[in-house]
Amino acid sequence: MSSFWNHKLTVSIFGESHGPAIGVVLDNLPSGEYIDITELKAFLARRAPKKDNTSTHRNETDMPNILSGIHNNYTTGTPLSAFINNNDTHSQDYGNISGIARPGHADYTGALRYKGFNDVRGGGHFSGRLTAPLCFAGAVCGQILERRGIYTGAHIIQIHNIKAKRFNPCDISKEQLVSLRHKKFPVLNDKKGEAMINDISYARECMDSVGGIVECAAINIPAGIGSPIFEGLENSISQLVFGIPAVKGIEFGAGFDSASMLGSQNNDDFYIDEHGHVLTRTNNHGGILGGISSGMPVTIRVAFKPTPSISKTQESVDYSKLTNETVNIKGRHDPCVVPRAVPCVEAAVNIAVLSHMIDYPNF
């Protein structure tokens, strides 16, 4: 499978949702970087299921087992390999759907691509479970970046039709980004967050699901990071973000809103601040111009579709028999993936930014 990302860093993710374990190999990390294991586990805990009505009731500890690449809490420079055991699988929940294409899932396309040999239990290699090793890799990269003053943070700005406050794209602080990591439901407006939680709970009661949007920002990235055309910073971030299941869209800066602007509205005027830094008065470009960082905060928004696993009866086909069928999906599923996707987006951005930063002078 093509679960291998190759830039200055390489990331290879392996395993299936109901297999013995899932994991990641991260290669070309700089050596001698201190990795705080406690902070790393805290990052993974943000992705883990919550004991409430907003997520699956599958109970996994997501405790990483590091095989190589870290010794005495420092990176060795050799491939960093880690795996996470799968302990709470209910594979029997998928016995009634072998050969039946679950609407919204990759069962049918996966069967075509891999000639029917793909593991469909819990979504197999297509499952959101595979975001756990992605978060491990992103957490490691995040610690290396923060030692250079670069911070990444994300929050929820929309669940279903409920919208919350966005970042100020020109004024995002380290304290603001770090504080979001400690919130049970990461939003800038807690009252809106309560309404979102209620909407997710209602969707579960209705045997349905909802989607939403995560906004992410990375600050203090030096100007001049990235390349034009195919090696742009936007390109790298997008490719990694689309490795998160359920992602259906991404935009940078003003994004799709820029299509309705005039050039005079969309252009960001340059100026020199009191410290002699070149900045822009607005940040419609989202911190990236021509695939290269401008020094302004990098801001992105990521759209997630509603969880396809819902308990309502749906029409489908048995692609092994070519018959029309109906399907009732069993199992333990998130009524909304968005709350658990927040650290996944951060992880993807961390990996992309670090990969480009490795070339930066005196990194």
What does pLDDT average to over the chain? 91
- Give residues with Cβ within 8 angstroms of 260, minimum separation 6: none
Q: Is residue 362 one of the residues assigned to a domain?
A: no
What's the total number of domains in the chain? 1
pLDDT number for residue 187: 98
Q: Is 349:152 a contact under the CB 8 Å cutoff?
A: yes
Q: Is 84:65 a contact under the CB 8 Å cutoff?
A: yes
Q: Is residue 41 one of the residues assigned to a domain?
A: yes
Q: Is residue 29 one of the residues assigned to a domain?
A: yes
Q: Is residue 230 one of the residues assigned to a domain?
A: yes
* Distance separating alpha carbons of residues 318 and 297, to the nearest angstrom: 48
Write out pLDDT tens, residues 304-363: 999 988 888 898 999 888 999 888 887 668 899 999 999 999 999 999 999 999 988 888
Tell me the DSSP string of 44-87.
HHHHSPPSSTTS--------EEEEESEETTEE-SS-EEEEEE--
| Residue carrying structure tokens 């190589």 | 68
pLDDT number for residue 96: 54
Dihedral in degrees, nearest 10, Cα atoms 66, 72, 74, 78:
-60
10-residue averages of pLDDT along the chain (363 residues): 86 88 95 96 90 61 89 97 80 61 86 82 80 96 98 98 98 98 96 97 94 98 96 97 96 98 97 96 98 98 94 89 87 88 98 94 82
Q: Is 100:108 a contact under the CB 8 Å cutoff?
A: no
Q: Indicate the pTM of the whole model.
A: 0.92
| CATH number for the domain that contains residue 11 | 3.60.150.10
Percent of the chain residues past pLDDT 90, beyond the cut: 72
pLDDT number for residue 298: 98
Map residue 356 onto helix, strand or coil.
Answer: helix
Q: Is 56:333 a contact under the CB 8 Å cutoff?
A: yes
Q: How far is CA 255 from CA 198, 215, 363, in A?
A: 29, 12, 30
Write out pLDDT tens, residues 108-129: 888 888 887 887 777 777 788 8
Q: Is residue 261 one of the residues assigned to a domain?
A: yes
pLDDT number for residue 90: 53
Q: Is residue 34 one of the residues assigned to a domain?
A: yes
- Could you tell me which of 136, 5, 4, 21 has the C-alpha nearest to residue 83? 21
pLDDT number for residue 332: 67
Q: Is 266:322 a contact under the CB 8 Å cutoff?
A: no
Q: Is residue 96 one of the residues assigned to a domain?
A: yes
Tell me the DSSP string of 107-121.
HHHHHHHTTT-S--G
| Residue carrying structure tokens 């500890």 | 61
* Upper half-sphere CA count for residue 265 (Cβ side, 13 Å): 7
* Distance separating alpha carbons of residues 25 and 23, to the nearest angstrom: 7
- Could you tell me which of 220, 210, 153, 219 has the C-alpha nearest to residue 186? 153
- Give residues with Cβ within 8 angstroms of 63, minimum separation 6: 41, 84, 85
Map residue 135 onto helix, strand or coil.
Answer: helix
DSSP bridge partners of 271? 279
Show the domain range for 254: 4-357
pLDDT number for residue 53: 60
| Segment holding 200, helix H or strand E | helix 190-205
Q: Is 18:89 a contact under the CB 8 Å cutoff?
A: yes
Q: Is residue 309 one of the residues assigned to a domain?
A: yes
